[in-house]
Amino acid sequence: MSDLLAAEPSTGVADAVAGVRITPVDAVGLEQRAAGLCTRSIKTSSKAAALDLSIRVMDLTTLEGADTPERVQALCARARRPDAADSSVPSVAAVCVYPELVPVAAEALADSPVAVASVAGGFPAGLAPLEFRLGEIGWAVAAGADEVDIVLNRSAFLSGRYQKAYDEIAAAKQACGSAHLKVILETGELGSYDQIRRASMLAMVAGADFIKTSTGKIGVAATPPTALCMAEAIRDMAEQTGKTVGLKLAGGIRTAKQAWHYLVIVGETLGGGWLAPERFRLGASSLLNDVLMQRSKLGDGRYQRREDYSVD
């Protein structure tokens, strides 16, 4: 077993993670297991339950430069009631936007169970000066964000400056106050599953409430093996320290089938306790419509037309 911060044995972080061991990851075995989990057959009543659950854990997301208040308002309306024609469809977990649109979302979601999530901290690269990043987090929280999604400083992490990466997350956690902190690892840039596991442990020890795969801004986003790798890290964290950390998968999740593969991976790795919005999220923009379509197909055996669903 390797110590998390073996490269910097004398730093304060090593003390902070005393007792947390990081086990290596075998890529072949990990991918084989993930592929195996994705062959689980989800039928009838299980499918119905999985579809509703994937709505309940969804962070409905829009992170475009061209976002408008109107688009965010429409998204919030869908978040509260995803299917205008069917009140049995549950609300999603949160709406995720850029800080500028947090006030719009906060107003639109007032008195609803749907949380407001904001990316902050120099999303998506996290390379702005730290004080600006922390300021942005504070601003978003003050504007009404219940949850803040920041990025891991990959520049620090990949160059082995783990202490810096750790300190920044710890500072971000402080800047969040009572808001929940999700740390995006941008797994597609980390280069190996060993690095993903190491970054997961670092973020969790530094104070992340959730660890999250991706920004959605680069080509490689959430994949089943990545999700499994992070879920295994979360399980180790819980076993070694008793701290429970959530998992958010984001980027490229477009179909209901992908969603329930992820539910299976999380459910079989971490147990049913993680299959709830407090511990698990699916960040997506176009997933909702496919889930609604599958849900309605399960009800009356027919597929709806794409035009029957909102484009936002």
Which of 47, 164, 173, 248 is labelled catalytic? 248
28 touches other proteins (CB under 8 A):
yes
Q: Helix count (H) and strand count (E) of the chain?
A: 12, 10
273 touches other proteins (CB under 8 A):
yes
191 touches other proteins (CB under 8 A):
no
224 touches other proteins (CB under 8 A):
no
Q: Based on the residue annotation, tell me whether 67 is a catalytic residue of this protein.
A: no
Q: Which of 7, 12, 18, 23 binds other proteins (CB under 8 A)?
A: 23
125 touches other proteins (CB under 8 A):
no
Q: Based on the residue annotation, tell me whether 182 is a catalytic residue of this protein.
A: no
Instruction: Give the whole-angstrom CA distance, residue 119 versus residue 99.
Output: 7
Closest by CA to 90, choosing from 45, 118, 54, is 54
Q: Based on the residue annotation, tell me whether 212 is a catalytic residue of this protein.
A: yes
Handedness of CA 252, 255, 256, 258 (dihedral sign): negative
Residue 115 three-state SS: strand
DSSP 175-208: HHTTSEEEEE--GGGT-SHHHHHHHHHHHHHHT-
Q: What angle do CA 60, 30, 22 make, to 5 degrees?
A: 90
235-254: which residues touch other proteins (CB under 8 A)?
Answer: 238-239, 242, 244
Q: Which of 3, 8, 38, 46 binds other proteins (CB under 8 A)?
A: 46
- Min dist CB 4 to other proteins, Å, is 15
For other proteins, give the closer residue by CB, 43 or 305.
Answer: 43
Q: Which of 5, 17, 30, 117 binds other proteins (CB under 8 A)?
A: 30
CB 124 within 8 A of CB 102: no
291 touches other proteins (CB under 8 A):
no
- Min dist CB 85 to other proteins, Å, is 25
Return the structure tokens found at 32.
Answer: 């084989």
Instruction: Give the whole-angstrom CA distance, residue 153 versus residue 50.
Output: 34
The residue type of 137 is: I
Residue 126 phi, psi (nearest 5): 70, 30
49-78: which residues touch other proteins (CB under 8 A)?
Answer: 49-50, 53
For other proteins, give the closer residue by CB, 47 or 281.
Answer: 47
192 touches other proteins (CB under 8 A):
no
Instruction: Give the whole-angstrom CA distance, residue 220 versus residue 271.
Output: 27
Residues interacting with other proteins, by CB under 8 A? 1, 23-26, 28-30, 32-33, 39-47, 49-50, 53, 232, 238-239, 242, 244, 263-264, 267-268, 271-276, 278-279
